[in-house]
Amino acid sequence: MQAEALVERSNQSPKFPTSDSPASNLPSLQRQAPDGPRPRPALLMCAPKVYEVSYVINPWMEGNLGHSSRQRALRQWRNLYHALSSMAQICLVEPRAGLPDMVFTANAGLARDGLVALSSFAYRERQGEEPLFRRWFQEAGYTVIDTPRETPFEGEGDALFSADGMRLWAGYGFRTAPSSHAALERIWSVEVVGLHLVDPRFYHLDTCFAPLEDGSLLYVPAAFDQASLRKIEAFYPAEKRIAVSERDGLAFACNAVNLGRRIVLNRISAELEEELRRRGFEVTQIELDEFLKAGGAAKCLVLKLTPSLHCGSNADDPMQAELLEV
């Protein structure tokens, strides 16, 4: 779907580099890490204080209009928040009324090394989120690069780095235009490999594809075309590929948050849990079915950040006390 230019973009942010952009025009990619121990991972989340299913922009929303429970969503989100805050710095962005999908912060952009490629949402229903996320990233100290409206790009929902950071897997077919991939390659000087999504239930890459930090992969083979499967199989040897069942795929088992040896995700089958534990992962399952109504689960609810820009205690966040009272 061709997105409409409904949100005015700030002229203070660098534009998404085009094929004609000289390297000298790109912002510096390197940020000096502070001396001392490596900072904990940092994640961006947004409390579902305005969450609801009030429109349909993916198959999961069909039949769920008006059937979401904000109270239940808050309880489930808080459980995820507490599980992740034990191993990562959690940063919070304040939601705004009328933007119920803002809770899915993974779609805000792609952040790495102090840079963020801000998303250009394909559907007008989410385009109002863009200036709010831009402001948050600018205030946090990131260099923000805007994506042109004519080049839809939906952030970490459709762009996931391999464990070594040397390859960026980029999904396309439903929300992100493949024309955005070349710009991502220039921003981070990384190999970008496009994967064509063919099942509308898996409309974002992070719903069916999860590169794990041990170098293995959790994925739904049926979500991709044959050319994309060949790319996946050429990079990940058979012993590193974990093909999930349809049941687990539709429970968004691949929409997992992996930090070190820990994996946090929605409810999965005993068979998949056993396989992950056999590979040395500590698995934490959290009921997130309220968010499945809108087409999201654990990974959709977080965006990975640059840790060195967020060194500090979660308790320092002024919204923390409010969250604990939800």
DSSP string, 188-217: HT-EEEEEEB--GGG-SGGGTEEE-TTS-E
159, part of any domain: yes
Q: Is 300 a catalytic residue?
A: yes
234, part of any domain: yes
Per the listing, tokens 């496009």 go with: 194
pTM confidence score: 0.89
CATH number at residue 186: 3.75.10.10
130, part of any domain: yes
Q: Is 67 a catalytic residue?
A: no
7, part of any domain: no
Q: Within the chain, which residues score under 70 in pLDDT? A: 1-13, 18-36, 312-326
Quick one: which of 316, 290, 288, 322 has its CA closest to 83?
288
Q: Is the dihedral of CA 280, 285, 288, 292 positive or negative?
A: positive
99, part of any domain: yes
Question: Residue 39: what pLDDT?
Answer: 87
Question: Residue 64: what pLDDT?
Answer: 97
Q: Which of 204, 208, 254, 310 is catalytic?
A: 204
224, part of any domain: yes
> In this structure, are residues 54 and 306 in contact, taking their beta carbons and an 8 Å threshold?
no
Greatest pairwise CA separation for the chain in angstroms: 52
The total number of structural domains in the chain stands at 1
Question: Residue 38: what pLDDT?
Answer: 78
Q: Which of 46, 208, 254, 300 is catalytic?
A: 300
Question: Residue 15: what pLDDT?
Answer: 74
151, part of any domain: yes
The side-by-side arrangement of strands in the sheet containing 115-118 is 109-112, 115-118, 143-145
Measured CA to CA, the distance from residue 126 to residue 30 in angstroms comes to 31
23, part of any domain: no
Measured CA to CA, the distance from residue 9 to residue 23 in angstroms comes to 23
Q: What is the span of the domain harbouring residue 165?
A: 40-317
Question: Residue 36: what pLDDT?
Answer: 59
